[in-house]
Structure 1
Amino acid sequence: MDIKIDIVSGFLGAGKTTLIKKLLDSDLRKEKLAILENEFGEVSIDGDLLNDTKVDIKEINSGCICCSLVGDFKEAMHEIIKQYSPERIIIEPSGVAKLSDIIKSCKSISKNNNIYINNIFTVIDVINYEAYINNFGEFYKDQIKNANTIILSKIENNDEEQIKKISRLIRNINKESSIITAPLDEMDGNDILTISKEDIKKSNEKTLSIKKSFKISAVNKVSHSHSADNIFNNWGVETQKSFSKSTLEKIFKIIVNDKSYGNILRGKGIVKLEEGIWGEFHYTPGKFKINKATKQRVGKIVIIGEGVDKNKLNLLFNING
């Protein structure tokens, strides 16, 4: 039986999990699906957010699928295939993973299996595009360049000219992929898949053309020095502490204004709220939101960035440990 692999890539907080939920509400639900989640850090959040989908989920924590975790990735893939026998595996890599490395890892598994890469999505945060491309060009450009289909997120409060500008900048990096500029919250999963199907067709035709036109006589080995752990670090905690919405908003205002906590690029969590409910919060530079969440066994908080000061964050969130 053939197994399709769909990759949903995107930098920290771009909206990968939101896209996956859209896809799970599409015609893909007619297939037997499994999800491979890769979190950067020891505390997993995204897997909890997808639990309500009733799809089989396998998680890899404490790094990104690329260099150090490639063995764990292969083992997880083989475990998913053996345990669940899926028709399709959706992979959500860490936001700081290089998409080219994910593709390479998938291809290394597909050699001896009936597995092939299908959709390759990259979600782009319009609000932070220019800041991220300037500061993290290696990761960001790689995720754009290797996508089949690119989806712009957080466009609701951006004017049409800004969206056109970002689209032009993306087009300079990837001249082939479709760029979807409709609001992700309003998109239908089947519409996204229809566009992606055409992108896959274009990609296959391009690959076939290259194979027909060129004969490769030699391949030079290239050294590979990338490691997200050398650039980003994280703070993660499990807690039974309750928070008010106003307290969480205040905490992230402090984080924005006081860089001694680190250059915080992503915050997310599921925690008990003092109002007697559970809340799911998300932070990226320039945006904080909190929504109602289903009850969890334990609250979880993850902060990712550069130079993250774990001790100061423990004190800020008033969490011992």
Structure 2
Amino acid sequence: MQIQRVYIYITIVFGENMNIKIDIISGFLGAGKTTLLKKLLEGELKKERLAIIENEFGEVSIDGDLLKGTNIDIKEISSGCICCSLEGDFKEAIKEIIKIYHPTRILIEPSGVSKLSDIIKSCKSIDGIEVNNIFTVIDALNFKSHLDNFGEFYKDQIINAKTIILSERKSDEDKLIVSISQAIRKINKKCSIITAPLKEIDSKDILAIAKKDLEMISENYIEFKKSFNSMSVSRVRHAHNADNIFNTWGVETSKDFSMFKLRDIFDEIMKSDEYGNIIRGKGIVKTNNGEWIEFHYTPGRFKINPTTTQGIGKIAIIGEKIDKNKLNRLFA
């Protein structure tokens, strides 16, 4: 049985009273949901009083640690799959958050294998809230593979999004981005598609795009230009079986890792199938020179960034037919 954690993050910033909005940030495993969430928190939304519900799929919690540097108090409210608790604890938790903290906006980041349609349906059934922005973040590099292999979860996140953001793209991938945008448009004809890299967009522009009623716009593309950067927006029964499809392996560790060692480990994971079909890896560990880093792996990509000091290192792996014994040895 996999463990999924639901956390509440309450910002200490007070905003004006208004109708309570719910924004949902969905996306498949490793797409960049937490990156988008941090960008929004550090930008326009920091002016509001926020509550954030985050659900992780796996045996150890990492994303919560990555958000600790954003002036947020962390409160754990329940455990279990956010998708499977929509009719129970999840809805009651939202009502309790509203009663106690009076947020102006609630942000929900479900796990990468949650069904977006079920989350939207449940949120709409709660009195006193308005489902507002619905984002889906898509990993451009692995779009075709995920669409082919995980259609049930993947297509649901595309069909029900209002705004889709293509993450992890490079400047020389224009043909690939056009192809992906066309494929998305066949699945969802009404969403906006943001094709610029997340690092080149600020939160004000993302929220401005998300609020636009694209049905009222006759042009096929809207261009936003800032200094030397630009981005294009193209107008272009409950079945949650994640535990039956995906396996997880996780560990808390006090071991130090060199960045070269980590790269070698994930090179080995990418080249060999003896560890299983690994589709997501992430962690926070201490390096052999005393610094703390966070790392993120999806097939074909491995990134390392500095992070804040932690109490203990954590590593999480998600995939299919994972061999936990071999992973234990690999990270030993």
User: What TM-score results when the alignment is normalised by the length of structure 2?
Assistant: 0.84
Q: Deviations over 1:132-186 (max 9, x none)?
A: 0000011111000000000011111552111101100000000001100111111
Which position in structure 2 is the counterpart of 1:299?
313
- The alpha-carbon deviation at position 62 of structure 1 amounts to 6.2
Partner in structure 1 of residue 258 of structure 2: 244
- Which amino acid in structure 1 is aligned with residue 21 of structure 2? K
After TM superposition, which residue ranges in structure 1, 4 or more long, deviate above 6 angstroms? Answer: none
Which deviates more from structure 2 when the two are superposed, residues 77-86 or residues 37-46? 77-86
Q: Are the equivalent residues in 1 in contact too, given 2:123–2:131 (CA < 8 A)?
A: yes
Please give the per-residue CA displacement for 1:178-204, whole angstroms capped at 9, x wherever unaligned.
1001111111100000000014x759x
1:167 maps to 181
Q: 1:75-114 residue pairs with structure 2 within 5 A?
A: 75-108=92-125, 110=126, 113-114=127-128
Which of the two has greater helix per residue?
A: 1
Bigger proportion of residues as strand: 2
Alpha-carbon deviations, 1:90-146, whole Å to 9, x = none? Answer: 1000011111111122123x1xx3111110000011000000000001111100000
Structure 1 residue aligned with 2:140, among 126, 133, 149?
126
Q: Using a 3 Å threshold, how does the CA distance of structure 1 residues 60 and 43 change in structure 2: closer, same or farther? A: farther
Q: Over aligned residue pairs, what C-alpha RMSD do you find?
A: 1.9
**2: CA distance between counterparts of 1:265 and 1:158?**
24
Q: Distance in 1 between matches of 2:106 and 2:74?
A: 10
Unpaired runs of at least 5, structure 2? 1-17, 217-236
Structure 2 counterpart of 1:207: none
Counting matched residue pairs gives 295
Q: What is the alpha-carbon distance in structure 2 between the residues aligned to residue 24 and residue 242 of structure 1?
A: 31
Residue 60 of structure 2 is aligned to residue 43 of structure 1: yes
Please state whether the residue corresponding to 2:147 is helix, strand or coil.
helix
Mapping for residues 221-300 of structure 1, pairs under 5 Å: 223-300=237-314
Does the alignment pair 1:30 with 2:44?
Answer: no
Q: Sort the Cα spacing of 1:259 and 1:72 in 2 relative to 1 into closer, same or farther, 3 A.
A: farther
Please list every run of 5 or more consecutive structure 1 residues that lacks an aligned counterpart in the other structure: 204-222
**CA 1:79–1:269 in 2, change beyond 3 Å: closer, same or farther?**
farther
1:14 pairs with 7, 16, 31, which one?
31
Q: Distance in 2 between matches of 1:243 and 1:27?
A: 36
Q: 1:79 to 1:262 in 2, by over 3 A?
A: farther
Pairwise CA distance, 1:27: 2.1
Per the alignment, in what secondary structure is the counterpart of residue 117 of structure 2?
helix
Instruction: Find the residue that maps to 1:282 and give its secondary structure.
Output: strand
Cα distance in 1, alignment partners of residues 215 and 42 from structure 2: 25
For residues 78 and 244 of structure 2, the distance between their equivalents in structure 1, rounded to whole angstroms, comes to: 17
